[in-house]
Amino acid sequence: MKRNSAYIKGAFFAIALCFGLLAGFGQNNAQAFSNQVVQVGATGEDVVELQSRLQYLGFYTGNIDGVFGWRTYWALRNFQYEFGLPIDGLAGGTTKNKLAKASKYDKAWVNRQIDTGKKFSYYGGEKRSAKSGAAKGGTAKSGTPKAGTAKGAGKPKAKPAQVKPAKNIPNGYSQNDVNLMANAVYGEARGEPYIGQVAVAAVIINRVNSASFPNTVSGVIFEPGAFTAVADGQIYLTPNAQAKKAVLDALNGWDPTGEAEYYFNPDTATSGWIWTRPQIKKIGKHIFCN
Amino acid sequence: MIRTILIVLLFVAVAGTGYWGYSEHQEKNAVLLQAENNYQRAFHDLNFHMDSLHDKIGETIAMNTRNQLSPALAQVWRLTSEAHNDVGQLPLALLPFNKTEEFLTKMGEFSYRAAVRDLDKNPLSDKEYNTLKELYANSTEIQNELRKTESLAQKNNLRWMDVEMALATNKQPEDNTIIDGFKTVDKSVEGYSDVDFGTEVSNMEKMKDRDLSQLKGKKITKEEAKKIAIDFFQLKKNVKITVESTGKDAKYDAYSLTLYNPDTKGTTYMDLTKKGGYPLYVLYDRNVGKAKISLNEAMLQAEDFLKKHMESKMEMVTSDQYDNIGVFTYARLDNGVRIYPETVSVKVALDNGDIMGYEGTDFLLAHVDKRTPTFKISEQEARKNLNPKFQVKETSKALIRNDINEEVYCYEFLGILGNDTFRVFINAENGNEEEVRKLKEAEPSYNDI
């Protein structure tokens, strides 16, 4: 049923497209994509354009966030289905050409929205559900997306979609977890080589997964006495980009420690007990143990 | 006259300093007290939860019917989690108290498994009753020891701040009661380390005991490890390589190599297994410039890399761009079945397509050369067990590790419900819904707005 209505929409589109082309709308190609193939997980300008164009056509209903997520993926596949393209969920040359021909994209305007973080209605104004001839005319006439916005605002049905930048974050964690971990890594190991920082982040993750430690990132980091950087406040220093990179690597599965749950600096360690733990290896100044 | 003024000024200065010092002191005490209060709360909470836990376990032993037993076991599960949480708030990180935490986790797992299963069809076995009895005995000991510690701490006005201070500076505190009490608890738990929690809980344990002994090939020397690394990266002569062996207690015996390339000013870190010389992980550290190639091109680079270095056929399961870095996960494809436990990750720089990292530990640990797929029911039959509102978009065959860490063959359905995308795994033997995984959408950046 849904597919059917989508089909009808597609048909409307094709008609609208013809009208559009006749009316001389071909010039949009000038602003089309770069020549890269866009796939799931990608971020950046091309994705913003892809989402905007898919939204313009009514396939994509999510936020324009510049991240090729699953909603974008299904929207693209629907587009490929409607326009008789091979359905692979990849925005390659042919798909992008078709998309560029079928839709309009005002790059400067969209970027401005992203920069200011403004809420705005569907890009291109009309949702495809408006099936009357007037709607068709409306889309064709609205020279700039802004005009469309004004119209869309009048319709109670058009739910505001936001343009906001987003980020890919490894599954099961949030950006705030990443920031917290970056703080801990920076406070604990900012003088260490890169691998030593990844290792500290990996220990935090190993502890979260371990039965003998708290089950959350914050629980592990703020366990009293667990990390010296927490005890002396160094955790509140502003971490640099490298610490964040190290945390992302660790969250993505890199574990240089061989599943260690403890580490200590042999020069400053005060606890005798920590020396009794089975040692795995030394990375930088830290000894990692089980 | 001047003298009087001086005296007055001096007096004011002394009084001012005194007042300032006094208020600083007051403030410091208030802060310390607050920290102490938090510790006290956690400590008394822990005692309370252990008390109720002990009682609840006792009750489950006496219970007979399912509609009593399941809720009681669920309570046990909740209380273990609460107690575990309390422990995490006490300054015990430098004390050997991890056995007790582990014990709480396992007890929770055991009671959860028993609580959610259909006890009418599948009542608690004698063995499980024995386990419960042992848990009861153990919790009695923990409870007694903790109560004793609590009452002594109350009687002698012991402060947790002193304990923390003593542990942090490794000095013996004047009164050891709290530390000794917790040490005794952990010792008593050790005595119960051979409690049989049943196959489901011990499966979890088994995951921790995996090692690399099943790998093919003979042990390599440090020199051979160097040679493997040079071949692996097709390096020129001028690269500095250092090799270090892991400690004797390492779970995975390996050589850790550090390669410094003066041409690119980049350092590569790599671990090679001693047995067979397989790479556990590779990490290349250099500055990555602005993204110039697409994620798609980077994926082709990653696939090229995998073809060069792995015999198995791999299929991409996730791809993500983190600014100027692309990270891809691949699962092994075995006769058209995705083997999810056998995954590797590859990291690619998006400025020039360099391979920035490879992680293969999971693959090496889980790899089995020959698996025998069991697909008893058809895909159509499996589909019937899906949520009717779930729209299937793609179907494939897969092997996953379910929530009790057993490897099961499944039909994998990728589809959508509402605005969210899910992977649903239906057991290919009995049609059980093994796992439903919600695929994450990108997270909006809150602080950039």
Q: Domain containing A94 — which CATH number? A: 1.10.101.10
Q: Which one of A128, A162, A196 terminates a domain?
A: A162
In the stretch 57-76 of chain A, residues with CB closer than 8 A to chain B read 61-63, 65, 67, 69-71, 73-74
- Partners of residue B394 on adjacent β-strands: B414
Do A144 and A279 reside in the same domain of the chain?
no
Do B433 and B364 reside in the same domain of the chain?
no
What was the pLDDT predicted at A22?
41
Q: What is the pLDDT of residues B241-280, one digit of tens each?
A: 888 888 877 888 889 989 888 887 888 899 998 888 899 9
Nearest Cβ partner for B441 among A44, A70, A117: A70
Tell me the pLDDT band of A124, cut-offs 50, 70 and 90: low
Do A12 and A153 reside in the same domain of the chain?
yes
A88 in contact with chain B, both atoms CB, cutoff 8 A: no
DSSP string, B19-84: HHHHHHHHHHHHHHHHHHHHHHHHHHHHHHHHHHHHHHHHHHHH--SHHHHHHHHHHHHHHHHHHH
Nearest-Å Rg of the Cα atoms of chain A is 26
Residue B447 placed within a domain: no
Q: Which one of A113, A135, A162 terminates a domain?
A: A162
Do B315 and B331 reside in the same domain of the chain?
yes
Q: Please state, in angstroms and as integers, the Cα–Cα distance from residue B226 to each residue in B18, B215, B239, B250, B253, following that order.
A: 68, 20, 11, 20, 16
Is pLDDT larger for residue B13 or for residue A84?
A: B13
Query: A159, A148, A154: which is closest to A125 by C-alpha?
Result: A148
Residue A169 placed within a domain: no
Which domain covers residue B119, as residue numbers? 23-208
What was the pLDDT predicted at B79?
93
Do B94 and B29 reside in the same domain of the chain?
yes
Do A180 and A283 reside in the same domain of the chain?
yes
Do A158 and A208 reside in the same domain of the chain?
no
- How close, in Å, is residue B377 to chain A by CA atoms? 28
Q: What is the pLDDT of residues B160-213, one digit of tens each?
A: 888 887 777 766 656 678 888 888 888 888 877 777 777 777 776 777 777 788
Do B84 and B195 reside in the same domain of the chain?
yes
Number of residue pairs across A and B with CB atoms under 8 Å?
A: 205
Q: Do A258 and B294 touch (CB under 8 A)?
A: no
* Amino acid present at A60: Y
> How many domains are contained in chain B?
4
A chain contacts of residue B246, beta-carbon cutoff 8 Å: 258, 280-281
Pairing type for strands A279-283 and A286-289 reads: antiparallel
Do B203 and B232 reside in the same domain of the chain?
no
Q: Comparing A174-178, A231-235, B229-233, which segment has the lowest mean pLDDT?
A: B229-233
Residue B325 placed within a domain: yes
Which domain covers residue A278, as residue numbers? 175-289
Do B362 and B398 reside in the same domain of the chain?
no
Q: Do B445 and A164 touch (CB under 8 A)?
A: yes
Q: Domain containing A185 — which CATH number? A: 1.10.10.2520
Do B44 and B74 reside in the same domain of the chain?
yes
Residue B2 placed within a domain: no
- How close, in Å, is residue B246 to chain A by CA atoms? 5
Q: Name the residue of chain A whose CA is nearest to B98's CA.
A: A212
> Which residues make Cβ contacts (< 8 Å) with residue B423, sequence separation at least 6?
B412, B413, B414, B435, B436, B437, B439
In the stretch 155-184 of chain A, residues with CB closer than 8 A to chain B read 164-171, 174-175
Question: What 8-state DSSP symbol labels residue A87?
Answer: -
- Is the Cβ–Cβ distance between B212 and B273 less than 8 Å? yes
Q: Name the residue of chain A whose CA is nearest to B299's CA.
A: A39
- Is the Cβ–Cβ distance between A109 and A94 less than 8 Å? no
Residue B245 placed within a domain: yes
Q: Do B319 and A39 touch (CB under 8 A)?
A: yes
The ipTM value here is 0.88
Q: What is the pLDDT of residues A179-218, one digit of tens each?
A: 999 999 999 998 899 999 999 999 999 999 888 888 889 9
- Is the Cβ–Cβ distance between B429 and B438 less than 8 Å? no
Residue B419 scores a pLDDT above 50: yes
Rounded-to-5 percentages of helix, strand, coil across chain B: 45, 25, 30
Question: What 8-state DSSP symbol labels residue B220?
Answer: -
- How many helices (H) does chain B have, and how many strands (E)? 11, 13
Residue A233 placed within a domain: yes
Do A105 and A233 reside in the same domain of the chain?
no
| B354 vs A16: CA distance, rounded Å | 45
> Which residues make Cβ contacts (< 8 Å) with residue B58, sequence separation at least 6?
B136
> How many domains are contained in chain A?
2
The encoded tokens of residue B37 equal: 């209060």
Tell me the whole-structure pTM to 2 decimals: 0.83
- How close, in Å, is residue B432 to chain A by CA atoms? 24
Q: Which one of B208, B230, B256 terminates a domain?
A: B208
A chain contacts of residue B99, beta-carbon cutoff 8 Å: 212
Query: B88, B74, B77: which is closest to B46 by C-alpha?
Result: B88
- How close, in Å, is residue A122 to chain B by CA atoms? 17
The encoded tokens of residue A171 equal: 């599954």
Q: Do A224 and B416 touch (CB under 8 A)?
A: no
Residue A107 has phi, psi (to 5 degrees) of -60, -50
Environment class of A253 (CB within 10 Å of its CB; exposed 0-12, middle 13-18, buried 19+): buried
Do A158 and A181 reside in the same domain of the chain?
no
Is pLDDT larger for residue A170 or for residue A220?
A: A220
Is pLDDT larger for residue A2 or for residue B32?
A: B32
Q: Do A39 and B357 touch (CB under 8 A)?
A: no
A272 in contact with chain B, both atoms CB, cutoff 8 A: yes
